[in-house]
Amino acid sequence: MVKKSILYIFIYTLLVGCHTILDSQNMLTNNNEECEYQYFLEIEATSLYRDSADYYHIEWLEGYEQTFTTLSAKTGSDEFSQKILWTSDSGIQYMNSWVSSVNPASYTDENGMTHTVLAAWEEQINDTIIVYAAYEDGCGFIYYDSLGVVIDNEE
């Protein structure tokens, strides 16, 4: 239930925030071309093992405070600096603040690629972190994807 609530809040925030930005820049109406779904969003963790259930696995590095990996996203868009929003259903309480397991935003390069960092903490060993990413194109279409990363400890 909490995981779904986080996803709904993330999507709502994306819809309201991006719509306001695009509308203020008059980007929601494109008079030169018809708007249609033409892009996509696919996120993956290419440096991690992917099991038959489509979950990625990261091995906890003993003796460290955190274990990191890079997540990548493809958009199919050639728009440079497309903002991609990221969130996760997991994180930790640090200095009276909740810290997500992923960085909250990144920007695409000229090939429609972007990256972010996923950080796992020791208390997340044997948990599965669900990561969500989304963006809105110039026509107001929203694209999103998610993946799961299991934090393993093979002591």
Considering the four listed CATH numbers 3.90.78.10, 2.60.40.10, 2.60.200.20, 1.20.1740.10, the one that applies to the domain covering 2-28+39-152 is 2.60.40.10
Tell the burial category of 102 from Cβ atoms under 10 Å away from its Cβ (0-12, 13-18, 19+): buried
Tell me, what's the pLDDT at 22? 45
pLDDT tens-digit map of 88-137: 999 998 899 999 999 999 999 999 999 999 999 999 999 999 999 999 98
Bridge partners of 34, per DSSP, are none
Determine phi and psi for 74, rounding to 5 degrees: -115, 140
Domain extent listing, the chain? 2-28+39-152
Q: How far apart are the C-alpha atoms of 1 and 41, rounded to whole Å?
A: 25
Supply 44's token pair: 């993956």
pLDDT tens string 61-100 = 999 999 999 999 999 888 789 999 999 999 998 899 999 9
